Amino acid sequence: MLALDRVSFDVPERHIAAIVGPNGCGKSTLLRLVAGLLPPDDGVVALDGRSVHGPDPRVALVFQEPRLLPWRDALANVAFPLELAGWERGRRERRARELLDIVGVEDVARLRPHQLSGGIRQRVAIARALALEPSVLLLDEPFSALDALTRERFNVELLSLWERTGTTILVVTHSIQEAIYLADRVIVLSPRPGRVVTDVPVELPRPRPLASLDAAAVSRTAAIIREHLLVDDGDRADATLRAERVASADGPSAPGPPDTGSVARRSWFELFRREETR
Ligand SMILES: Nc1ncnc2c1ncn2[C@@H]1O[C@H](COP(=O)(O)OP(=O)(O)OP(=O)(O)O)[C@@H](O)[C@H]1O
Ligand SMILES: [Mg+2]
């Protein structure tokens, strides 16, 4: 059975692309293809112009379900890729501690996965993925197990990490808010078999402090993404047009570029309250 069909896109170096799409449309399959964990039945995945034929040390994938080794504590899980890469014990433990610190869970170093909450396990998995400073980071709904405030903080931290490292990121998320906040563009996939329905550029300048986002631009982008997620094939041609109409119909009541941080922050949340309460 076909999981993905005619999916084609490029992600330039140092860009962040978000992938959104309904359950079962093949998002996780797509990341596994890019990571070289699954050979495509047809077509190619290329990294730096070369076909991917298996796992590549420059690419790190954080799975939808954090896959930690149950018999190892958090520190040893994070240190695992360093061990495989031949780092000596003292050096890899120092690095692993630093990584646990980056994701804010240095106090769980000696605990095993079954002793950790889902959100903490996810953070440990992210720390492990960052261990070898990958040039491509694939994130499969990385923050879905986190509480709302932690999730927001992680989004901010992911961007600051990205600014420091210049890693190319492909992130799968079900949150339109998260996709827009993080990405340079949002790739919308159709229901199974997943196809690229649209590829929406996010025209928000960086850096993106939550307090000063252009709420009107966010609203416009969200409307386009939402429309494309909702429509079926026959409607697709009109979708962008209708989304633009939806956005402009918001006109007078739509928040413009905010004057103060608190106004922007409120608009940001108001904009997505509907999404979160769905
Ligand atoms: N190698 C494969 N060949 C064909 N079909 C596959 C393969 N691997 C997974 N599938 C199927 O493809 C579909 C897409 O699965 P996938 O997990 O990629 O969806 P998803 O978009 O990540 O969903 P969710 O939003 O629930 O995480 C599923 O029905 C799955 O059973
Ligand atoms: Mg998935």
The pTM of this model reads: 0.82
- On the question of pLDDT at 182 being above 80, the answer is yes
Smallest CA separation from ligand 1 atom 11, residue: 3
In the chain the domains, ranked by start, together with CATH numbers, are: 1-58+137-278 (3.40.50.300), 68-133 (no CATH)
Candidate from 1, 2, 23, 29 with most ligand 1 atoms within 8 A of CB, to mutate: 29
Q: Which residue has the higher pLDDT, 223 or 65?
A: 223
Q: CA-CA distance, 256 to 215, in Å (whole number)?
A: 6
Ligand 1, residues at Cβ distance < 6 Å: 1, 3, 21, 23-29, 38, 64, 192
Per-residue pLDDT tens for 132-170?
989 999 999 998 888 888 888 889 988 988 988 889 999
pLDDT for 73 equals 98
Q: What's the mean pLDDT when you consider all of the chain?
A: 84
108 C-alpha to ligand 1 centroid (Å) = 33
Q: CA-CA distance, 86 to 240, in Å (whole number)?
A: 51
133: left (phi over 0), alpha (psi -120 to 50) or beta: left
Per-residue pLDDT tens for 187-205?
999 999 999 999 999 999 9
Contact (CB, 8 A) for 41 and 97: no
Candidate from 4, 23, 28 with most ligand 1 atoms within 8 A of CB, to mutate: 28
CA dist list (Å): 192 to 1, 21, 29, 41, 175: 10, 9, 11, 16, 19
pLDDT for 232 equals 52
- On the question of pLDDT at 56 being above 60, the answer is yes
